[in-house]
Structure 1
Amino acid sequence: MKSKLTLRLDESLIRRAKKRAKQKGTSVSQMVADYFALIETEQPSINRDLPPITASLTGILKNKEVQEEDYKKHLEEKYLK
């Protein structure tokens, strides 16, 4: 069931949001809904303190065994060869 939500925002922010929505081929309502869905599935609070690029990389090696020796080998190959 969809319900109506009223937001009070700065006029300039509304204009920018409408412009961005038009560029993306969507509505401001859909952008807000997407944002709410995103924050609902947000990663644990530890990632909130990290820069966005770092937070986006956390967990990508979950199922891979990476040892210190692997890293040292990588550095040797990158910088000593």
Structure 2
Amino acid sequence: MKNKLTLRLDDSLIKRAKKHAKQKGTSVSQMVADYFALIEIEDTSPSKKLPPITSSLTGILKNTDIQEQDYKSYLEDKHLK
């Protein structure tokens, strides 16, 4: 069953999407459908699942204020001094 979906986009983006669709010999609707189908495939692919050890470690650093710069500073201190 197909239903209608309304998207609100900038005029310039709509023009580019229509131009791209015409070049590819498809419609903007089909491009959007293909995109969402691709996302669904990516979300359910086995490669998205983490290995057991990695999975067991996720979330153990909750409530920490560690920033990327802190890690970079740690590495500099460890390897450059």
Q: Secondary structure at the match of 2:8?
A: coil
Q: What is the percent sequence identity of the aligned residues?
A: 80
Question: 1:35 corresponds to which residue?
Answer: 35
State the structure with more CA Rg.
2
Kindly state the Cα deviation for residue 10 of structure 1 after the two structures are TM-superposed: 0.7
Letter in 2 for 1:39: I
The 1:15/1:39 distance shift into structure 2, 3 A limit, reads same
RMSD of aligned C-alpha atoms?
1.5
* C-alpha distance after superposition, 1:11-55 (max 9, x if no partner): 100000000000000000000000000000114277xxxxxxxxx
The 1:14/1:45 distance shift into structure 2, 3 A limit, reads farther
Runs of 4+ in 1 over 3 A off after TM superposition: none
Question: 1:77 corresponds to which residue?
Answer: none
Question: Unaligned 5+ residue runs, structure 1?
Answer: 47-81
Question: 1:11 corresponds to which residue?
Answer: 11
The 1:41/1:13 distance shift into structure 2, 3 A limit, reads same
Residues 1-81 of structure 1 correspond to what in structure 2 (within 5 A)?
A: 1-42=1-42, 43=45, 44=48
